Chains A and B, each alone.
Chain A
Amino acid sequence: MAVNKWTAAKVARKVIDNEELFILDVRNHDAFEDWKIEGHKFEYLNIPYFELLDGVEEVLPKLPTDKDVLVVCAKEGSSVMVAEMLSEAGLEVAYLEGGMKSWSSYLEPIKVADLENGGELYQFVRLGKGCLSYMVISEGEAAIIDAVRFTDLFTNFAKEKGVEIKHVFDTHLHADHISGGRNIAAATGATYYLPPKDATEVVFDYTALTDGLNVKIGASQIDVNALYSPGHTIGSTSFVIDNKFLLTGDILFIDSIGRPDLAGLAEDWVGDLRETLYSRYRELAEDLVVLPAHFMIIDELNKDGTVARRLGDLYKENHGLNIKDEEEFRRTVTDNLPPQPNAYEQIRQVNMGKITPDNDEQTEMEIGPNRCAVR
């Protein structure tokens, strides 16, 4: 039987379209437990490839014959080996091209909404890592918020749309993934903005992103308004776009809230986080649609693959917005935090411009799941 090769894009469609898939993950157990390809209707079997070197007979009865079987490993090599063994045993299976490495890098651009006068808002969903980036487009111009490091994807997308990237923002100094903001700005001549309170140690020039900053995009003058909202970091800043969308960065997610400890100061910032979530955001219109910089679990995706929810609904449903007692809130966001993201201290150094690892090293740093939230 043939061995098929699937791209990360094809697997992403299966996730978004809610299709069935059987994943035979041949990485070691620790790697699988830590992080895997998540899908609503996916089934999993984890057997490390090195336990299959003598043959795949023991696996055969455990594999379904009525659905697609995808073999997955870290970089591809072992999944090809196992897929070929299964194929020789008479099964039709596929392997994931580039393995979890390519899954971690894949971005799916999805349109969130049409804006006034032909403008558009896109969300770039990085399924494997839970990162969300944004592009606002309006007649010839674009702004990008929280770009991940795959700069070509954004510049090519802008080219396809016939727009010039004018403004590039980071809502805060990221600790879980490497920002593409500075490189996109350098490649396009756009202005790169960072909150100055997060940027005290950065070694490059940037434009200050401060409360109340307003830029207008394109001929239809789509409004991008900055709103200082500290708590995940001391500089964390949100955006209100077109008076309809609230880009919350890593402060508020769909089913969780930001964690205050990744820059090392949980105790100091928990008060800011409380103030932002329980006062500043409270004063905003309930009909704003929240667009966060991350999702943690696949259940946070909408049917069309976007991650977006009405602010008023989050105030009803998100546990992190409904902790009345301040002391309990403090405990929730400082005790029992999940493990910190892989290499988060190094990633912060990269985003400050202090170290410049090569592409392979950057890929290694970003391996693993997203861990920016407290549930």
Chain B
Amino acid sequence: MNITKTLDAKGLACPMPIVRTKKAMDTINSGEVLEVLVTDKGALNDIPAWAKSGGHIVLEQKTEEDVLYFYIQKA
């Protein structure tokens, strides 16, 4: 997987992780991949739900030491 951009949203509380993710998405091209690091547990459901509503694809997500990692391919 080719990561185009990484967004560090660790320590931010809802709604900021999604607000920042959306802004970062606006800066990459269709088909490119954004990596997002979050610690807010609400993101676990909200990021996939947000991605789905915009047609983006969550290629992979994982949790390592309380940090959530999302790899989102832009629609």
Contact = CB atoms under 8 A, between A and B. Distances in A.
B46 A48 contact: yes
B31 interface: no
Contact of B42 (A29, A53, A75, A81): A75
A50 B47 CA distance: 9
A28 B45 CA distance: 8
A50 B45 contact: no
B41 A364 contact: yes
Contact of B18 (A30, A53, A364): A53
**A-side binding surface: helix, strand, loop or mixed?**
helix
A263 interface: no
Interface in A1-59: 28-31, 48-51, 53
B49 interface: yes
A69 B46 CA distance: 23
A64 interface: no
B19 to A, nearest CB: 6
A77 interface: yes
A50 B42 contact: no
Nearest to A82: B15
A74 interface: yes
Interface residues of B, number: 14
A364 B46 CA distance: 16
Interface in A151-189: none
Interface string A250-277: 0000000000000000000000000000
A50 B13 contact: no
A73 interface: yes
Interface string B18-56: 110010000000000000000001100110011001000
Contact of B15 (A30, A49, A364): A49
A351 interface: no
A229 interface: no
A81 B22 CA distance: 15
Contacts of B75: none
B59 interface: no
A352 B46 CA distance: 33
A51 B18 contact: no
Nearest to A75: B14
A29 B52 CA distance: 12
B16 A30 contact: no
Nearest to A78: B15
A77 B16 contact: yes
Given A74-B42, A75-B13, A53 B49 contact: no
A50 B16 contact: no
B75 to A, nearest CB: 15
A30 B48 CA distance: 12
A51 B53 contact: yes
B53 A48 contact: yes
Nearest 5 A/B pairs, CB to CB: A50-B50, A78-B15, A28-B49, A77-B14, A50-B18
25 contacts: A28-B45, A28-B46, A28-B49, A29-B49, A30-B45, A31-B45, A48-B46, A48-B49, A48-B53, A50-B15, A50-B18, A50-B22, A50-B53, A51-B53, A53-B15, A53-B18, A53-B19, A74-B14, A74-B42, A75-B42, A77-B16, A78-B15, A81-B15, A81-B19, A364-B41
Given A50-B50, A74-B42, 10 more contacts: A28-B49, A48-B49, A49-B15, A49-B18, A50-B53, A53-B15, A75-B13, A77-B13, A78-B14, A78-B15
